[in-house]
Amino acid sequence: MNTQAANKRIRLIMDLRTKGITSTEVLSAIERVPREEFVPEQAQDQAWEDMALPIGLGQTISQPFVVAIMTQGLELKSSDKVLEIGTGCGYQCAVLSHLCRRVYTIERHKYLLEAAEKRLNDLKIRNFTAIAADGMKGWPVINRISQAPFDKIIVTAAARVKPPQALFDQLAVGGIMVIPVGEPGAQVLKRYKKESEDAFAVRDIISVRFVPLLPDVSEQAL
């Protein structure tokens, strides 16, 4: 990383602090993950700016503040098993990987998934498992093995009315899910804590703007 990029990284971390990111663990993870590796070549000079950037197929890499506040809302522990819905370019997964035991991440766009896996592997991030699947159905049973329940769930696309029931079902009692909910233009980032099998404590975090949460697996390529 050159001096200019290093200075931008320092400024970003300071900016996140002033915006209310108080977790030193989250700030450290964001500082450690080279965001320039997850953005298109033409956007390299903006990699350490606090802004969302396009990554293709109508998807974006979220702005660092949104990544930070979603991650902070999870209250991650090093022993946690985390489910991520919406791998995208792999940036959020990379941040999570520094804070938990393992990330299970689902992406509906196979092209994005393959590119994200390559980036994560190139960065020698090993504590993740990624698949192309319908994230609205949660993590599938594979070879008769179920990974649920998950200690934490993070969703990087917006549910229109409420989170899918399958995700509630796969969240452990005592676990936390952070997910944007609402119609375009009226989305709110929400934090659900599972108090029992049928009771949740819900808290609004901030207003956000995400692509919609969609079913099925897309075969679309760039």
Task: Kindly tell me the number of DSSP H helices and DSSP E strands found in the chain.
Answer: 6, 9
Taking the CB of residue 100, how many other CB atoms lie within 10 A of it? 20
- What single DSSP character describes residue 150? E
| Total residues belonging to the chain | 222
State the amino acid at position 43 in one-letter form. Answer: A
Among residues 28, 62, 78, 146, the one annotated as catalytic is: 62
Rg of the chain's alpha carbons, rounded to an integer? Answer: 16
Residue 187 pairs in a beta bridge with 208
With beta carbons less than 8 A apart as the criterion, state whether 206 and 69 touch: yes
Catalytic site residue 62?
Answer: yes
The residues that are catalytic are 62
